[in-house]
Amino acid sequence: MDRNRSPLIRLVNLRYGLLLVPLVFLGVFFFYPLISILGVSLVPDGQLNLGAFTALITSSYYRDTLVFTTVQALLSTLLTIGLALPGAYIFVRYQFPGKSLLMALATLPFVLPTVVVAASFSALIGPRGLLNTGLMSLFSLDTPPVQLERTLAIILIVHVFYNYAVALRLISGYWANQNPRMEEAARVLGAHGWRLWWAIRLPLLRPAVLAASALVFIFTFTSFGVVLILGGPRFATLEVEIYRQATGLFNLPVAGALALVQIIVMFILMAVYTRLQKQITTDIQRAERVALPPRSRGARLAIGVNLTVMVILLFAPLLALVIRSFTAGDAGWTLDYYQQLTVNTRQSLLFVPPAQAISNSLVFAAITTLLALALGLITAYLLSRRNLPLVRWLDPLFMLPLAASAVTLGFGFIIALDKPPLNLRTSPLLIPLAHTLVAMPFVVRSVLPALRAIPPSVQEAASVLGASPWRVWRWIDLPLISRGLAVGATFAFTVSMGEFGASLFVARPDTPTIPVAIYRLLGQPGAANYGQALALSVILMIVSAVGFVFIERLRTAGIGEF
């Protein structure tokens, strides 16, 4: 039996026909919207018109937007790498209590939705945050002493909060697998302190540092929710400007031109990162270091300082969010904000109680999970067939949605899917379709390694003993890939619950998701709206944390390619 002829594919007898299912989905809901953006930007009236691109070049405002997007991404990357390097050093070099737990928890901020992060920092250092209310009470102040909202500083801080774990894991994982003899030899020859770092460690870590820098730069270059909520009207990345031009000014040609520029930049950056990632994989020597307990006072001080920075940076905002959601001014501890989730404070037909947003998100996440599992499973089976022509090109093709920003996808949806037979612009189904595009690659990467690990002799033996293709799949394949399916389903559900950029474009006023409802509530005055936003954020944070813990437990068995 040919290992690559899976029972599932033989069961339906559609070897190449099955390929059409995920390809058609990708073509209709990914490439067609991107082509529509190209049409809106280049031929807005049916004829070639480069006016939108001329506006981008001649307008100082759009040039400043591109410059700000690049500068804030560079600054965020430098700060993140600068903090992650010493953190990676102590995790690679030393053994201390709670090390593995802290490394796992450090990744939690990265999986949180942007609106939850924005609400967390608002609860910590916002005008009504714990820090300001505490300082005002302690020193009898009339105004908040810490005013970081609507500043570049808060954007950079939140970006570091988000991406610290990404850089920490990449650098420490690479460093731990490098042979320590080169550093030991340098010490014997007299290299210590900064000379050791400059001459040995930094050159040794250059591939990992560059890869981590590229990935962090990609994430911060496409920053949307953080800048939109915390940055205010003074600051706009390309993502935010696309949203403003499309929904606020209805200037679709300029929005399309901006989206096209961002798509080009993103694909270039992803190509660079992919190349760096391959270099990291090639350079790993599998000579894992042995971490030792700290013996000197300097080592213990280094560990203490780094862990303090990590705890304050990564966990103080989340703790503040939880505390602030249970406190209401002078009333002290209360459940009022959670009880008010069933109340429509605006009393408007166009708005719904926050509890309805929870229900909407659960329904959309369930649909997304089913769609992503079905499409991802077919795709994984097809990619596991190494004898399939062009399979090496199909793998990166199905990963392309991860390289496109959610805002660009949402914008493409509203301009492409508004005519029969795809008149879905006012349909709630548009939300799970957008979420499926983002979630499907995670399912593929979770299931594919498990499929490739199935020994062909097992399937052969079952077939020889008379098992039908369905029974082979049911009793052989499915149990072996079940853990990968569980990871993929959890990824899909969690991604759908927290997705913000595309949802903000396509969600109708009466069918908001939790992130969209949080964004709307944070933009409204009044303690009740703010409290509801915090309560919703805590609920969404718990969902994301539970999903993350579940995925981490399964990942310890080597499930998935991440």
269 close to 217: Cβ distance less than 8 angstroms: yes
Give the largest Cα separation in the chain, rounded.
Answer: 83
Closest Cα to residue 202, out of 81, 371, 25? 81
Q: According to the model, what pLDDT value does residue 406 have? A: 82
489 close to 444: Cβ distance less than 8 angstroms: no
Same domain as 303, residue 349: no
The proportion of the chain whose per-residue pLDDT surpasses 70, expressed as a percent, equals: 83
Which domain CATH number covers 72?
1.10.3720.10
Same domain as 498, residue 400: yes
DSSP conformational letter for 233 = T
Measured from the Cβ of residue 522, the count of other Cβ atoms closer than 10 Å reads 21
Is the pLDDT score of 138 beyond 70? yes
**Over the Cα atoms of the chain, what is R_g?**
25
Q: According to the model, what pLDDT value does residue 561 have? A: 46
Same domain as 380, residue 244: no
Closest Cα to residue 354, out of 366, 338, 368? 338
Full domain range(s) for residue 490: 1-39+340-562
Closest Cα to residue 405, out of 199, 545, 232, 218? 218
Does residue 61 sit within a domain? no
DSSP conformational letter for 197 = I
Same domain as 364, residue 450: yes
Same domain as 480, residue 519: yes
Q: Taken in order 48, 49, 52, 58, is the CA torsion positive or negative?
A: positive
DSSP conformational letter for 292 = B
Residue 156: both structure tokens together: 């950079």
Query: What's the pLDDT band for 389 if we cut at 50, 70, 90?
Result: low
Q: Which residues contact 386 (CB under 8 A, 6 or more apart)?
A: 4
Query: What's the pLDDT band for 191 if we cut at 50, 70, 90?
Result: low
Query: What's the pLDDT band for 41 if we cut at 50, 70, 90?
Result: confident
Q: Is 507 helix (H, G, I), strand (E, B) or coil?
A: coil
DSSP of 311-323 = HHHHHHHHHHHHH
Does residue 50 sit within a domain? no
438 close to 406: Cβ distance less than 8 angstroms: yes
Cis peptide before 421 (omega within 30 of 0): yes
Closest Cα to residue 361, out of 122, 537, 548, 119? 537
Same domain as 490, residue 402: yes
Burial (CB count <10 Å: 0-12, 13-18, 19+), residue 260 = buried
Same domain as 560, residue 481: yes
Is the pLDDT score of 6 beyond 70? no
User: Could you give the number of structural domains in the chain?
Assistant: 2
DSSP of 501-552 = HHHHHH--TTS--HHHHHHHHHTS-SHHHHHHHHHHHHHHHHHHHHHHHHHH
Q: What is the pLDDT of residues 65-76, one digit of tens each?
A: 999 999 999 999
The C-alpha atoms of residue 107 and residue 103 are separated, in whole angstroms, by: 7
The proportion of the chain whose per-residue pLDDT surpasses 90, expressed as a percent, equals: 20
Is the pLDDT score of 13 beyond 50? no
Same domain as 168, residue 28: no
> Could you say which of 274, 293, 325 is where a domain stops?
325
Mean pLDDT along residues 79-84: 94
DSSP conformational letter for 327 = B
Same domain as 355, residue 318: no
Q: According to the model, what pLDDT value does residue 39 have? A: 85
Same domain as 524, residue 423: yes
The C-alpha atoms of residue 48 and residue 42 are separated, in whole angstroms, by: 6
Least confident range from 83-92, 200-209, 440-449, 461-470: namely 461-470
> Could you say which of 325, 350, 372 is where a domain stops?
325
Q: According to the model, what pLDDT value does residue 291 have? A: 72
Closest Cα to residue 484, out of 377, 386, 383? 377
Residue 296: both structure tokens together: 């000197």
Does residue 46 sit within a domain? no
514 close to 536: Cβ distance less than 8 angstroms: yes
Closest Cα to residue 211, out of 81, 88, 87? 81
> Residue 469: CA atoms inside 13 Å, Cβ hemisphere, count?
10
Residue 244: both structure tokens together: 């403003």
Residue 220 or residue 278, greater confidence:
220
Same domain as 394, residue 313: no
* Cα 494 off chain centre by: 11
Q: According to the model, what pLDDT value does residue 349 have? A: 46
Same domain as 384, residue 445: yes
Does residue 122 sit within a domain? no
